[in-house]
């Protein structure tokens, strides 16, 4: 399998001195889905921000064979679609259609072609009835779908999803999991939702204090780090 | 989420809602020029302007009482100048000042209550308003709801912990702290939004808005309102 993401020795220190990443190696093959597990502050989100050059640390990041540098940002951002944890931050245009067309328009498509592509992906995520709605009139689940559509409209090869099921109600979560399962792209899932990781991911990577502590089958890592999100009722 | 009432009105349906925002903007401008240049003693003209606005309010199916109350919000500002004028012995001019303020406020409110913000911004953009200004309003309007919702949550949380005996001083301290937190959160959010924009290939230039079609009835409305305003201004 050809790797779509290859990261070697990635280090990043925030301006306040916090060492967020301390030598991370990572790879993702075509069509693979990897769950990034780990405690809050272990460096998962900081790591994914490096995958399309939003943060630049030491070490090397390659996307489909292209090294991530300032000169390749446009190319890399077209290949790695990042869906943020807070959909409100991702939906900034006045209407759903304009928001989803934002990425394709930045890729150089004419307004008509960008809108046409936006309509296709909105249909795919089941949001074609909301074309002219303002994002603040949508529910959390709908916002998440539109945010996903905005990224899919750029036809990326890798999808990076940061906590995709946060603040979704159970039906919304089920629908999103099904939708994600049907998408052919390689995926990186940053999540605390171990059930989601079990259903979608083929492999898991466990982050600890800015390093990869372990990687392997999802169930094995969840057992090893006692990471299940299920709560047992205590015996009386 | 608690939306502002005017925003809900703007999504209503009526002949006035269906008109192009540029036609309504042009008509408002003509109407305001006519009102502001009307001599103070021409009370019949003010009655006629009020008649025009009243018919428009009825046509737009807007709640009259609520519209009048909101338009009256301009009166405290106008009252200062009206009082000074009245004390200097020019009662007619003072009355005209208050009337002009109220009617202008009502006319502007009528535009906002019958035009969704997205259409209004598109109209301002196509009429040549500087793009950075349009974008600032667009972002402000988009995130005003998010920030005001955050503020409401914080207010509830602070009231839950204050108890009935909290003095004015402690309430003031809590409010001041909340404003600080809101500012910091908005700052972080702005950063998040910018990252989301970059992730979707933003290079500093926003894609153009799709232009709306200006129909014959829009032109007819613009001409009719301007003609009526000029006729009232000249003949009464």
What residue ranges do the domains of chain A occupy?
3-224
What is the residue range of B65's domain?
A: 5-115+213-235
Per-residue pLDDT tens for A39-68?
Answer: 999 999 999 999 999 999 999 999 999 999
B124 occurs within a structural domain: no
Same domain flag for B13 and B111: yes
Going A38 to A41 to A42 to A44, the CA torsion angle's sign is: positive
Q: What is the DSSP letter of B16?
A: T
- In sequence order, which residues have a C-beta less than 8 Å from that of residue A17 and are 6 or more positions away? none
Contact state of B207 with A77 under an 8 Å Cβ cutoff: no
Give chain A positions within 8 Å (CB) of B195.
49, 54, 84, 89
B207 occurs within a structural domain: no
Q: How far apart are CA A109 and CA A82, in angstroms?
A: 20
What kind and span of H or E run contains A83? strand A80-83
| First vs last C-alpha separation in chain A | 52
pTM for this entry = 0.78
B208 occurs within a structural domain: no
Substitution target from A63, A134, A154, A162 for chain B, most B beta carbons within 10 A = A134
Same domain flag for B137 and B228: no
Substitution target from B199, B202, B211 for chain A, most A beta carbons within 10 A = B199
Question: Nearest chain A Cα to B140, which residue?
Answer: A92
Contact state of B201 with A74 under an 8 Å Cβ cutoff: yes
Q: How many CB atoms lie within 10 A of CB B18?
A: 11
Contact state of A92 with B142 under an 8 Å Cβ cutoff: yes
Give chain B positions within 8 Å (CB) of A98.
207, 209-210
Residues A219/A201, Cβ–Cβ less than 8 Å: no
- Is a pLDDT exceeding 70 seen at residue B3? no
Q: How far apart are CA B149 and CA B155, in angstroms?
A: 10
Q: What percent of chain B has pLDDT over 70?
A: 95
Predicted-complex ipTM score: 0.85
B222 occurs within a structural domain: yes
The residue that leads in pLDDT, B142 or B35, is: B35
- Is a pLDDT exceeding 90 seen at residue B2? no
Same domain flag for B111 and B218: yes
Per-residue pLDDT tens for A150-197?
Answer: 999 999 999 999 999 988 889 888 988 999 999 999 999 999 999 999
Same domain flag for B111 and B220: yes
B120 occurs within a structural domain: no
Same domain flag for B96 and B176: no
Q: What is the pLDDT confidence band of residue B1, given thresholds at 50, 70 and 90?
A: very low
- In sequence order, which residues have a C-beta less than 8 Å from that of residue B151 and are 6 or more positions away? B178, B182
What kind and span of H or E run contains A4? strand A3-13
Contact state of B142 with A135 under an 8 Å Cβ cutoff: yes
Contact state of B118 with A78 under an 8 Å Cβ cutoff: no
Q: What percent of chain A has pLDDT over 70?
A: 98
What pLDDT score was predicted for residue A204?
A: 96
Q: How far apart are CA B135 and CA B38, in angstroms?
A: 35
Going B95 to B98 to B101 to B102, the CA torsion angle's sign is: negative
Based on the structure, what is the number of domains in chain B? 2
Same domain flag for B190 and B220: no
Same domain flag for B19 and B96: yes
| Alpha helices (H) in chain A, listed in sequence order | 44-50, 73-79, 87-90, 96-106, 111-124, 140-152, 170-182, 194-200, 218-224
Q: What is the pLDDT confidence band of residue A218, given thresholds at 50, 70 and 90?
A: very high
Give chain B positions within 8 Å (CB) of A82.
196, 199
A156-177: burial string, b at 16+ Cβ within 10 Å, e else: bbbbbbbbbbeebeeebbebbb
- In sequence order, which residues have a C-beta less than 8 Å from that of residue A206 and are 6 or more positions away? A37, A38, A212, A213, A214, A215, A221, A224, A225, A227
CATH superfamily ID and name for A3-224: P-loop containing nucleotide triphosphate hydrolases (3.40.50.300)
The residue that leads in pLDDT, B2 or B16, is: B16
What pLDDT score was predicted for residue B207?
A: 72
Same domain flag for B62 and B92: yes
- Chain B, 32 to 91: residues with Cβ < 8 Å from chain A are none
Same domain flag for B182 and B225: no
- SS3 at position A208: strand
The answer to whether B192 contacts chain A (CB < 8 Å) is yes
Same domain flag for B195 and B217: no
Q: What is the pLDDT confidence band of residue A229, given thresholds at 50, 70 and 90?
A: confident
B206 occurs within a structural domain: no
Q: How long, in residues, is chain A? A: 236
């Amino acid at each position: 399998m050809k790797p779509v993401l290859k990261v070697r020795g990635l280090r990043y220190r925030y301006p306040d001195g916090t060492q967020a990443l301390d030598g991370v190696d990572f790879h993702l093959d075509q069509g693979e889905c990897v769950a990034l597990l780990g405690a809050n502050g272990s460096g998962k989100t900081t790591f994914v921000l490096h995958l399309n050059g939003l943060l630049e640390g030491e070490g090397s990041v390659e996307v489909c064979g292209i090294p991530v540098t300032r000169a390749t940002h446009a190319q890399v951002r077209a290949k790695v679609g990042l869906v943020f944890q807070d959909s409100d931050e991702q939906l900034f245009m006045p209407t759903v259609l304009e928001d989803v067309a934002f990425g394709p328009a930045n890729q150089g498509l004419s307004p008509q072609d960008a809108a046409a592509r936006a309509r296709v992906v909105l249909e795919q995520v089941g949001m074609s009835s909301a074309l002219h709605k303002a994002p603040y009139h949508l529910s959390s689940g709908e916002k998440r779908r539109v945010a996903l559509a905005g990224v899919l409209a750029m036809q990326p090869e890798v999808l990076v999803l940061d906590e995709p099921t946060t603040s979704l109600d159970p039906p919304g979560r089920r629908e999103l999991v099904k939708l994600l399962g049907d998408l052919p792209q390689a995926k990186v899932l940053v999540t605390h939702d171990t059930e989601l990781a079990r259903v979608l991911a083929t492999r898991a990577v466990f982050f600890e204090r800015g390093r990869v502590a372990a990687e392997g089958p999802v169930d094995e890592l969840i057992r090893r780090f006692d990471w299940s999100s299920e709560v047992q009722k205590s015996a009386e | 989420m608690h939306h502002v009432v005017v925003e809900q009105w703007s999504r209503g349906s009526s002949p006035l809602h269906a008109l192009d925002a540029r036609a309504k903007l042009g008509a408002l401008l003509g109407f305001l020029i006519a009102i502001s240049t009307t001599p103070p003693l021409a009370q019949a003209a003010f009655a006629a302007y009020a008649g025009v606005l009243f018919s428009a309010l009825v046509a737009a199916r807007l709640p009259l009482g609520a519209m009048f109350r909101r338009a009256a919000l301009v009166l405290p500002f106008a009252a200062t100048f009206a009082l000074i004028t009245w004390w200097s012995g020019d009662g007619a001019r003072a009355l005209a000042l208050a009337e002009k303020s109220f009617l202008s406020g009502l006319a502007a409110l009528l535009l906002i209550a019958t035009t969704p913000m997205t259409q209004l911004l598109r109209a301002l953009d196509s009429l040549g308003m500087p793009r950075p200004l349009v974008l600032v309003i667009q972002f402000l309007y988009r995130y005003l709801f998010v920030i005001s919702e955050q503020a409401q949550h914080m207010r509830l949380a602070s009231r839950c912990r204050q108890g009935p005996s909290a003095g004015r001083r402690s309430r003031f301290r809590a409010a001041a702290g909340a404003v600080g937190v809101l500012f910091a959160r908005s700052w972080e959010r702005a950063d998040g939004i910018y990252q989301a924009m970059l992730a979707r290939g933003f290079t500093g230039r926003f894609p153009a808005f799709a232009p709306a079609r200006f129909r014959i009835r829009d032109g007819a409305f613009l001409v009719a309102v301007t003609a009526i305003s000029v006729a009232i201004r000249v003949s009464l």
